[in-house]
Amino acid sequence: MRVGFIGAGSMGSMLTGSFIRSGALRPSDIILSTRTLSKANALANRYPGIQIAPSNASAVLGSDLVFLCVKPLDFRSVLQEIAPSLQPWQIVVSITSPVRLEALERLIPSKAAKIIPSIVNETLAGSSLVMFGSRLEERDRALLFRLFSAISRPVQIAEEDVRVASDIASCGPAFMANLLEQFIEAAVSTTGVSRETATVLARDMLLGTARLLQNAGCSPAELQKRVSVPGGITAVALEELKDATNGAFLRVLQATHAKFAEDLEKVDASLNDSQDQP
Ligand SMILES: NC(=O)c1ccc[n+]([C@@H]2O[C@H](COP(=O)([O-])OP(=O)(O)OC[C@H]3O[C@@H](n4cnc5c(N)ncnc54)[C@H](OP(=O)(O)O)[C@@H]3O)[C@@H](O)[C@H]2O)c1
């Protein structure tokens, strides 16, 4: 299989590296193009065998799958460059939420899918959010599921749920890391514990918590019950935490949805303007 990647930033690099380390792809399966050549070179040095394409158009030539790992407002120019080289049998995957499948199918002659990864896929864990365009056949869907199963748990979602699902699966690591950072800072600033010790304890706690939550019957509510004896220290502190964070995630979701609506408007305008249709 030949797989093209356009964009070698945070996500393009994470996906190429993770697919290779999981064994799902060999470096020689991958051809990469990006704007800043040094980033492509860094990946090719790390995984010898990756080919660097001289242009986005040449990265898609002969590729069975093409991942578009650029930011939403760069889609217009990238699609204009690659559309003339794309064929109906090829599958193009957008990894960004505000680019609609309908727009992709309007602007390129290929099959299209939207798959939102998460930074945690780098550890071959976490979910990836899968949305299929109308031109994909059963074997295309199976191929994409198989590929993403190597680095994640692929979860098929409706396109209209992409924002809230991305908030949890893709933005979630940043939200959880921020809460952890606040916990560590509070510990360090109010007690004699060292930052190093607090960080190790917090990190191991989060890892163990995630593992417990994987067990059947251990929901977040159940886990809180198991740790907090009524009237005990955790129970008292949990009430404080609930008070302090009451409504916090409603505000988080309002913020992501408002920004998403803004992005959608800009991306729709930029792609609706595009003259290059198949
Ligand atoms: N970060 C996450 O956790 C995450 C999770 C899920 C989905 N996403 C989505 O993934 C997309 C990419 O995010 P990212 O964090 O990887 O961004 P990023 O680090 O900025 O990477 C974007 C890459 O695209 C390259 N690029 C821009 N225009 C190009 C063009 N015309 N031709 C070829 N390459 C071009 C950039 O080149 P330069 O190096 O020259 O800038 C950069 O390497 C975003 O839309 C984001 O929403 C991100």
Which residue minimizes the CA distance to atom 31 of ligand 1?
78
Q: Note whether 125 and 98 are within 8 A (CB).
A: no
pLDDT for the residue 274: 59
pLDDT for the residue 219: 95
C-alpha torsion angle, residues 184, 187, 188, 194 (rounded to 10): -80
Q: How many C-beta atoms surround the C-beta of residue 149 within 10 A?
A: 13
Which residue minimizes the CA distance to atom 18 of ligand 1?
9
Tens digits of per-residue pLDDT, 119-151? 999 999 999 999 999 999 999 999 999 999 999
CA of 7 to the centre of ligand 1 (A): 6
Identify residue 59 by its one-letter amino acid code: A
pLDDT for the residue 235: 96
CA of 238 to the centre of ligand 1 (A): 39
The two three-digit tokens of residue 39, written as one number:
């980033």
Domain layout of the chain by residue ranges: 3-158, 165-253
In whole angstroms, give the CA distance from residue 253 to residue 55.
Answer: 38
Identify residue 239 by its one-letter amino acid code: E
Same fold, 3-158 and 165-253: no
CA of 42 to the centre of ligand 1 (A): 16
pLDDT over 90 (residue 228):
yes
Q: What does pLDDT average to over the chain?
A: 96
pLDDT over 90 (residue 160):
yes
With a Cβ cut-off of 6 Å, ligand 1 is lined by 6-12, 33-36, 39, 56, 69-72, 74, 77-78, 95-96, 116-119, 170
DSSP string covering 117-146, please?
--GGGGGT-SEEEEEE-TT--HHHHHHHHH
Which residue minimizes the CA distance to atom 30 of ligand 1?
35
Return the CATH fold of 165-253.
Answer: ProC C-terminal domain-like fold (1.10.3730)
Percent of the chain with pLDDT over 90: 95
pLDDT for the residue 142: 98
In whole angstroms, give the CA distance from residue 136 to residue 106.
Answer: 14
CA of 90 to the centre of ligand 1 (A): 22
Closest among 2, 36, 79 to 12, alpha carbons compared: 36
pLDDT for the residue 77: 96
CA of 8 to the centre of ligand 1 (A): 7
Tens digits of per-residue pLDDT, 185-224? 999 999 999 999 999 999 999 999 999 999 888 999 999 9
Domain at 3-158, CATH from 3.90.550.10, 3.40.50.360, 1.10.150.80, 3.40.50.720 = 3.40.50.720
Question: Which atom of ligand 1 is found nearest the CA of 39?
Answer: 39
CA of 219 to the centre of ligand 1 (A): 35
Taking 3-state DSSP, the helix, strand and coil percentages for the chain, each rounded to the nearest 5, stand at: 60, 15, 25
Which residue minimizes the CA distance to atom 33 of ligand 1?
34
Question: Which atom of ligand 1 is found nearest the CA of 72?
Answer: 45
Which residue minimizes the CA distance to atom 42 of ligand 1?
9
The two three-digit tokens of residue 54, written as one number:
């001289």
Tens digits of per-residue pLDDT, 8-45? 999 999 999 999 999 999 999 999 999 999 999 999 99
Which residue minimizes the CA distance to atom 39 of ligand 1?
36
Tens digits of per-residue pLDDT, 60-94? 999 999 999 999 999 999 999 999 999 999 999 99
CA of 68 to the centre of ligand 1 (A): 9
Q: Is the dihedral of CA 137, 105, 63, 18 positive or negative?
A: negative
In whole angstroms, give the CA distance from residue 116 to residue 93.
Answer: 9
CA of 11 to the centre of ligand 1 (A): 6
